[in-house]
Structures are given as structure tokens and as C-alpha cells.
Amino acid sequence: MRFTSERRLEDGVLVRDFTLGEIRGTLWTPASAAPAPLILTAHNNGLPRHEPRLVARARRTAAHGYTVASIDAAGCGDRPRSAADEQARADLRRAMRAGEPVDDIFESFIAPLVEKATPEWRTTLDALLELPGIDGPVGYSGWTAVGIHLAATDPRVTAASLFTGGYVPSAQREEARSITIPLLLLLQWDDEGNPRDRALTLFDTFESKEKTLHANTGGHTGTPWFETEDALRFFDRHLKRG
Amino acid sequence: MRFTSERRLEDGVLVRDFTLGEIRGTLWTPASAAPAPLILTAHNNGLPRHEPRLVARARRTAAHGYTVASIDAAGCGDRPRSAADEQARADLRRAMRAGEPVDDIFESFIAPLVEKATPEWRTTLDALLELPGIDGPVGYSGWTAVGIHLAATDPRVTAASLFTGGYVPSAQREEARSITIPLLLLLQWDDEGNPRDRALTLFDTFESKEKTLHANTGGHTGTPWFETEDALRFFDRHLKRG
């Protein structure tokens, strides 16, 4: 892991961009020198990690006392997209315009992205936990499908706040049955691209004893600001020590 | 309104029982002398207002800075039950034991209770707002059906936190379409007596632009403690001034 830039914000949060092989990421570290629990914040494929809402949330989370890491995984942000990705996006646009079913296209497009992104998150996690001042336990926030795949395969992830804002591949809908860590599932009630009944079925599928669903009116990008604060309290219950 | 007892708790909260005609109630007032917004906390028919969980929640809410009022409405708590109520309860127990449908019994039992309880809440609200140190705006917390009926008919109620823990009569399912105030709907995902799909349909019915659903795993009485704190933050957003 190599840091390529570093700046200190007014609230004392340290922001550093890093590279790790082909992975491009950003690390937000709280002002306090004490070791802080780590939260991985994964956005899904459509957004770059520098998107202002994501940055604002990461900064708020670091100011609250967590180390926050974000990466543009394979095919995300400004990383190169494969010819197959580009073809799938074109197919998707065409099918949506024509009002045709899009599930098969989503499955063939998103499932490989999840398969490629998850090992990159694991590599990032390995490298982060070797840095001084970064401490477990580890929380996960964001892209639901990657969160499921990572939590199902990496016992270091001990709590997850998932945003059900996109297509969840069939493999992860199945893996959800094996998830037992505390979960906060966040859903936009009128999300154009994510049928509500699927999100509710997914919530029902998780085996976690402690799982909470939050739903708000509005479309995909309409999540109210107070949900960032609610997520912090969720992590405080599960990641803070003592 | 006549106060019949008064005691000061360790956290400074003043607890007073009162009578108002046939109504029996309790008022929790925060330690600060400044006027505090009022929250009406209505429990449904099965519980007395002295039930420990309800008392703990009212006390916490007052310690946070709200004036809290609770009443045993007609047929609730230790107030006399009508012969028709007793018959309905007997019918309900028999039908449940026999595994028969209970919707018609619930409708004939709960609908009149809601019709009788709501004017008592309005009378209580009138009397409370004449007391010194009690200020609007007014929030409502608890029994969903009474909350809908009160909010639909009394513009002084400006935010409501509803617990979908029981049968909602058809009249209130219809009235829900006219509700536009900010809402927090709280649901236990595995509530034995309250089918999940009905609670979700009810959430969908409200016209409120700001409505939030919280659902947690577990049965009717399993609501986690942090939901009390979440409700306080909901009221802070909508009832606190300045």
C-alpha cells in the first residue's frame, strides 16, 4: 500500500489517497491518535469513490471516531471497464428503453463485478490492518451484494450497514442465509431501480439475530441525512469497545 | 384536571398522577423550568399505563426534555370494561384457541375502543395545554389506530411515532390516507399478532412526505432499547424549536 496524497481537514480528519496494485483507494483517519475501529465503505459500480455524498459520509464517519476506507474496485470509478462490461451496460440501456425484462442482464453484469470486487476488498483489508493506528473490529457499509459476499467469506467483518439500492445477484441472495452478524439494512421505499419486495425478502433471508430495517420515502438518491447518524449509532453499538 | 400525587425522580423528572373526569393519567415533566414540547404516549388496550416498560420509556423521554402524558383511556388499564368488551375478549380467546379467523372479532372489539379513546385524548390535550410550562408543538407516540384517528382529526398533533403492534380497524386504515405529518412507524418483524404485510401496507398508505419505517427481528415485546433513543431523535427533528 502506497500513499499518493495527504491532507488534514478542519475537523482534524486526515485524508490519504492510496494505491495497492491496481486498486485505488482513500483512507480517512480520525484526529485522535488512539487506534480506531475500521469501516469499509463500498459504493456500487455506478459511482466513483470521489462522489461528494460518499465523501461527505466518509468524512462524518471519521470525525465520529472511525477509520474509513473506500476503494474503486474492479470496473468501478475511473478504473478501466472490460469490453464485456461495456457491452452489458449497452444491453441494459437498450432493454430498459424497450421496457424489456432486465434481470438476466443484471445477473450477467453484476455477478462478475461482485466476484471481482470482493477479493480486492479483502486485499485492502489485509493491508489496512498492518498499518499503525488501525484496529479491529471491522465494519462494512454500502453496496449490499459485496457486503454479503465479504461477510459470508471473511470473519473479520463483524457488523454491516447495507444499502439495498441495486441488483443483488442470485449467489448473494443465497449467501444471505449464512449471514449472522448484526445488520442494518437501509432501503429507499420508492427506489426506481430496486423493487421493494425484493429488498424486504432479502431482509427476511438474513440469519442475523440482530437485524434492523430502515426505510424512508423517496427515490434512490433521496436517503435522508439522519440515516448517516443512525448508521454511526449502529456501528457504535457493535464496534466500539468498553 | 386534578393532580392526585407528585414525586420528583433522581434525574429531576417530576411525576404526577392526575384525574380528569373519568380519565386517569400520569404526567412526566422535565427538570428544566423552560416550556417543553408535549408528547402524548398512548398504549393500546391490553396494558395499564403503569406497565414498567411504558414507565421507563416515558421517564427517559422526559429526562431528554419533553413533557410526557399517558392516560388509561376508556376500557384500558384498571378502568372498568363494558360487558360487550368482556364478551369480545372471551370470543377472541375462544376463536384463537380454535384457530378460527379473528379479524371480525377484532374489528367489532377494537374499532369502538378507538372511537372512545380518541376524544379522551383530545380532552386531555385541551387540559394539558392550559397548564403552565407545557408548550406545543405536540407529538404522539404509541398505539397506531388511536394515533391515526387523533392525527386525522386534530391539527395540533404535528409528528407521530407509531408502534404497529395490534389490529388497526378499517376506519383507521382508510383515515391513514389523509395523514401528512412526519411519521416514524415501528414494527416487530416477527410480531405474533400483527401480520407483517399489513404493517407494510399501512406504511405505504400514509401520505406523509417524511415517513420512516423501522423494523427489528423478534416478537411483539422484543423492541430493542435503542428504538426509544431513535424515537427521541425523530421528535427532536420535528418538535424542537430553533
Residues of A in contact with B186 (CB under 8 A): none
Residue A187: strand pairing partners: A215
Domains identified in chain A, total number: 1
- d(CA B63, CA B52) in angstroms, rounded, equals 16
What's the pLDDT at B133? 82
- Alpha-carbon gap, residue B87 to B208, rounded angstroms: 37
Exposed / middle / buried, residue A33 (Cβ in 10 Å: 0-12, 13-18, 19+): exposed
DSSP string of B110-139, one letter each residue: HHHHHHHHHHHHHHHHHHHTTSTTEEEEEE
CA distance B205 to B11: 40
What is the per-residue pLDDT for A88?
Answer: 84
Q: Is residue B197 part of a domain?
A: yes
Residue A22: which domain range? 2-79+114-239
In this structure, the strands spanning B14-20 and B23-29 are antiparallel
pLDDT score of B46: 65
- Burial annotation B203-237 (CB, 10 A radius, 16+ → b, else e): bebbebebbbbbbbbbeeeebbebbbebbbebbee
pLDDT at A242: 56
Distance in Å, alpha carbon of B53 to nearest chain A alpha carbon:
20
A42 in a domain, yes or no? yes
B47 lies in a domain? yes
* Cis, peptide link before residue A137, omega less than 30° from 0: yes
Reported ipTM: the value is 0.92
What is the CA angle A185-B159-B34, rounded to 5? 115
Most distant pair of Cα atoms in chain A: their distance: 56
The CA distances from residue B214 to A25, B95, B166, B223, in Å, are 33, 31, 16, 10
Q: What is the CATH number of the domain that holds A73?
A: 3.40.50.1820
Number of Cβ atoms within 10 Å of the Cβ of A226: 16
Q: B interface toward A at CB cutoff 8 Å?
A: 189, 200, 203-204, 208-217, 224, 226, 229-230, 233, 237
Chain A residue with the nearest C-alpha to that of B190:
A204
pLDDT confidence tier of residue A46, bands split at 50, 70 and 90: low
Residue B108 is assigned to a structural domain of this protein? no
Q: Closest approach of chain A CAs to the CA of B215, in angstroms?
A: 5
Of A204, A212, A226, the CB nearest to B214: A212
Confidence of residue B2 (pLDDT cuts 50, 70, 90): very high
Q: Cα separation of B74 and B155, whole Å? A: 23
When pLDDT is cut at 50, 70 and 90, the band that residue A60 belongs to is: very high
Residue B153 is assigned to a structural domain of this protein: yes
- Are B11 and B63 a contacting pair, CB within 8 Å? yes
User: Averaged over B117-122, what is the pLDDT?
Assistant: 94
Q: Among the listed ranges A34-48, A61-75, A221-235, B8-22, which one has the minimum average pLDDT value?
A: A34-48
Contacts of A210 in chain B (CB under 8 A): 216-217, 224
What local confidence, expressed as pLDDT, does residue B216 receive?
98
Residues in chain B with CB shorter than 8 Å from the CB of A200 are: 200
Per-residue pLDDT, A142: 94
In angstroms, the CA B9 to CA B201 distance is 41
Q: Is residue A91 part of a domain?
A: no
Nearest CB to B230: which of A204, A215, A230? Answer: A230
Q: Is A121 domain-assigned?
A: yes
Q: How far is B187 from chain A (nearest CA, A)?
A: 9
Residue A146 has pLDDT above 90, yes or no: yes
Instruction: Give the sign of the dihedral formed by CA A167, CA A217, CA B69, CA B80.
Output: negative
User: What CA–CA distance (Å, rounded) separates A224 from A234?
Assistant: 16
Residue B168 in any domain: the answer is yes
Cell of B199: 404493517
Reported as a pLDDT band with limits 50, 70 and 90, residue B119 is very high
Please report residues of A whose CB lies closer than 8 A to that of B233: 226, 229
Using a CB-CB distance cutoff of 8 angstroms, which residues of chain B are in contact with residue A224?
210, 212
pLDDT band at A123 (very low <50, low <70, confident <90, very high): very high
Q: How many CA atoms lie within 13 A of A187 on its CB side?
A: 23
Number of other CB atoms surrounding residue A64 within 10 Å = 19
Q: How many CA atoms lie within 13 A of B145 on its CB side?
A: 24
Q: What pLDDT is attached to residue A45?
A: 62
Q: Residue A120, SS3?
A: helix
Average pLDDT over chain B, rounded to an integer = 92
pLDDT band per the 50, 70, 90 thresholds, residue A13 = very high
Tell me which of A89-103, A161-175, A196-210, B215-229 is least confident. A89-103
Question: Is it the case that residue B197 has pLDDT exceeding 60?
Answer: yes
CA gap B76, B44 in Å, rounded: 8
Rounded to whole angstroms, how far apart are CA atoms B194 and A209? 20
